[in-house]
Chain A
């Protein structure tokens, strides 16, 4: 596609529920990133994929958060037993890989836990 696509754009869920957020990166991009942006703050790194494997998941806050990228393209961020503190915009980004390449962002999924 032309850009990084994220669905859903907005999601409201009840505390304790399970949610999945989907990211479709730019075609051919091997690197994929998830960031979380709380209101009024800069994005914070969650996880990075190079191909199908999670090369760095050091930013995941706890074991309720999990992400997969089974075929090296689309990725899903999964959040179990959601809490109100999980409310944020979840941004996905992709790049061709390599430290010098520009990272391109999607418009994010705005998650609200009530």
Chain B
């Protein structure tokens, strides 16, 4: 079974600075998808960014980018120019390319943004 580990329960960043959230995963599959979701106090999980494992190029969405290291099974999220609205729980998630029924989530990282 796949597992996803987020080793940072909490992170703090100064507004306008850059922060990196870590995620590692374990799988025996070669084809899969990785995601970062943001969960604000409203509880809704909002997709931040996704990465297909077969793509070597790291995904980027505006201020959000990932560092995908397939051999190391590492998938970190970098947030540039942090904003107060970025404060939330961030979850890393794994999804098999062959078994489409579920996302496997990490335990989450709480990001605090200081003004």
Kindly state whether residue A97 has any CB partner on chain B within 8 Å.
Answer: yes
Nearest CB on A from B84, distance (A): 21
Contacts of B91 in A (CB 8 A): 42-43
User: Is the CB–CB distance between A42 and B107 below 8 Å?
Assistant: yes
Kindly state whether residue B95 has any CB partner on chain A within 8 Å.
Answer: yes
Q: Which of B35-66 contact A (CB under 8 A)?
A: 37, 42-47, 50, 52
Kindly state whether residue B113 has any CB partner on chain A within 8 Å.
Answer: no
Inter-chain contact count A-B, CB under 8 Å? 64
- Alpha-carbon distance A1/B104, docked complex (angstroms): 26
Nearest CB on A from B109, distance (A): 10
Q: Which of A71-95 contact B (CB under 8 A)?
A: 89, 91, 93
User: Is the CB–CB distance between B96 and A110 below 8 Å?
Assistant: no
Contacts of B98 in A (CB 8 A): 99
User: Is the CB–CB distance between A100 and B97 below 8 Å?
Assistant: yes
Nearest CB on B from A51, distance (A): 13
Given known A-B contacts A106-B44, A108-B44, A99 and B95 have beta carbons under 8 A apart: yes
Closest 3 CB pairs of A and B: A42-B105, A99-B100, A105-B45
